[in-house]
A and B are shown apart, each in its own frame.
Chain A
Amino acid sequence: MKIKHQGEWKYQLILILSVCLLFYPLLYMFSTSFKTLNQIFSSGLKLFPTEFTLENYDTVFKSLDILRFLTNSFIIAAIVMVCKIISSVLASYALVFMNIKHRDLLFNLFTVSMFIPFSVIMIPNYLTLSEMGLMNKLLGVALPQLADAMGIYRIRQAMRTIPKSLVEAARIDNVGHFTALRRIVFPLVKPSVVAMSIFFFINSWNEYFWPMLILKRKEMYTITLALQVFLDTESGSAWGSSMALATIATLVPMVLYIFAQRQIIGTFMQSGIKE
């Protein structure tokens, strides 16, 4: 016999409502991409199209070089992901396993940097990159994002669960710090590193505002920037095509998340519990 948990249904109801609330825009985007223009304006908030069409996707593929935008997004997201992971893993190892002077102060500075709003650093970054001649370059989008305090925080938390004696035992065996990181520590925090990699990739993929500032030439657009092509205040926006493109843009992060959801949830749930 199962134990009856009284009143559990109330919490389940709240959960279901929250999920519906979060998923509605996504489903609306998805269904709108299969609607005709008339239906989009006449069906209100109705989810399912009465008349199913692939015309919007046809327009997107015919009018835009989708592959190019996808490649641009991929290059930026891959550079950002790889660099953020390398910097986060190295910094976390040093913070946890090396006797660095003012270690706590350094960690606090990293943490504080998480609270600086993007709008504050946006203009200095823009001016610096402009001086460096990186406008309209993919590297210009990636460069300010190569290190991440959130990554250091999360991976440090994961490394703190590893007993220090493991690294000490390795050092007694004449193992240098890089080898200890590669052979002892990294395999033990791999799930967290995978989760953070995907998190970084998705974040960079979904970035809209910063690439918009840096990339002006259409052929350099990322997939998210390409969305604005269909939004035109003068001749009217092509909502159906816009939603079709948005659906395509969403597919990559969705697929990645599905593959790594267990690690991602695990990483964000652990929140610094030390064994």
Chain B
Amino acid sequence: MNTIEFKNVYKSYDGKHNVIQNLNLVIPSGQRTILLGPSGCGKTTILRMIAGLEDISSGELYMGGKQVNQLEPGQRNIAMVFQNYALYPHMTVEKNILFGMQIAKEPKEVQQERLMWALDILGLSQYKDRYPKELSGGQRQRVALCRALVKKSPYFLLDEPLSNLDAQLRTSARAELVKIHGVYSPTFVYVTHDQVEAMTIGQKIVVINKSIIQQYDTPDNIYNRPANVFVAKFIGAPSMNVCDAGVEDGHLCFGTARVKIPPQWMNLIGDRDKVKFGLRPEHVVFSNGSGDVEITIDYVENHGNRKCICYNAGCCQQMMATTDVSFEIAHTFMDIPWDKIHLFDNETENNLGYPN
């Protein structure tokens, strides 16, 4: 079907430094796959290689089982939405949308039919005679989507299409993107650095850092079972608390505080004497009077619907917890919820796994 497969792909601009190193990735047909990572991690380069806008230095790229390394962008049958939308400023909305179909010499009736269909889906019918400069950011973004949609290409590439929108529009646009994918289920490849977009739009997420794939999994697994410290901290807001902890005589040590480790976790820790301990802010459990680790609360941020508590636990770095608004500052202890924690190797920072 319409899978996209990278086999041992390298990309270098100057012939000396690789911006993409030995990329092996299979993007499944008909699903929404998100390339997620911080700026400069190589995610846009990967997308542009799929589009044919960047050459591949070595390795093979297959689309629908066919090697496409040498194919021009126009021969790959893709639709793409650019970060700045790339609408032709001298053409009206209608002409912008029709342009690709005119080049493809589609019959006039088909062009008009698809134009009306796409304008209708995205609610742009009354704007078809306007120029891009006469539209708002959200409308331009929808025109760009329309232009890609009318091609009905099996591959739909999106390069941070929501990054120029305000927070409110972004929320509605996310739902719109999922709806558009549902129209004919193309292979959707979406680049973003925004983890909320990735979690809400993606069926599969590829987390990339420094040109290396950190984890390729479903949003649920990425959030609940992060492969390493980078993924754990990159996904989630506020990000996961990760701190160093010692292991002594079956106890986890946070400075002077010692907490007994359940045997199923001990099996995973093995003979390590140090681990990285991870706990998501929403999983922190505070207690009053007695508990596993004594804490000092630094400050509390009131977000209206919840509170963010910054606190110190023994030797650890500053930690963050989110609680409901009824939280009171009197709490002095933190309990370890063993079914919610994550342990990572101290050196490789890889996840040690979870007890069955």
* A residues lining the B interface (CB < 8 Å): 163, 165-166, 168-175, 179, 183-184, 187-188
Contacts and interface: CB of A to CB of B under 8 A. Distances in A.
Given A168-B53, A168-B73, A173 B99 contact: yes
5 contacts: A165-B84, A168-B53, A173-B74, A173-B100, A184-B88
Contacts of B89: 188
Nearest to A186: B90
Contacts of B78: 172
B13 to A, nearest CB: 11
A63 B265 CA distance: 110
A163 B84 contact: yes
Contacts of A168: 51, 53, 73, 82, 86
B86 A171 contact: no
B72 interface: yes
A173 B104 contact: yes
B103 A166 contact: no
Interface residues of B, number: 23
Contacts of B79: 172
Given A179-B103, A187-B90, A188-B89, A172 B74 contact: yes
B80 interface: yes
Contact of B73 (A163, A171, A184): A171
A163 B164 CA distance: 15
B73 A172 contact: yes
A165 B73 CA distance: 13
Given A172-B52, A173-B100, A173-B104, 17 more contacts: A163-B84, A163-B86, A165-B83, A166-B86, A168-B73, A169-B86, A169-B147, A170-B99, A171-B53, A173-B103, A173-B151, A174-B73, A174-B75, A174-B103, A179-B103, A188-B89, A188-B90
Contact of A166 (B53, B88, B100): B88
B325 to A, nearest CB: 45
A72 to B, nearest CB: 38
Nearest to B101: A173
Interface string B71-112: 011110011101110101110000000011001100000000
B80 A172 contact: yes
6 nearest A-B pairs in the assembled complex, by CB-CB distance: A174-B74, A173-B100, A165-B86, A169-B86, A165-B82, A187-B90
Contacts of A173: 74, 99-100, 103-104, 151
Nearest to B96: A169
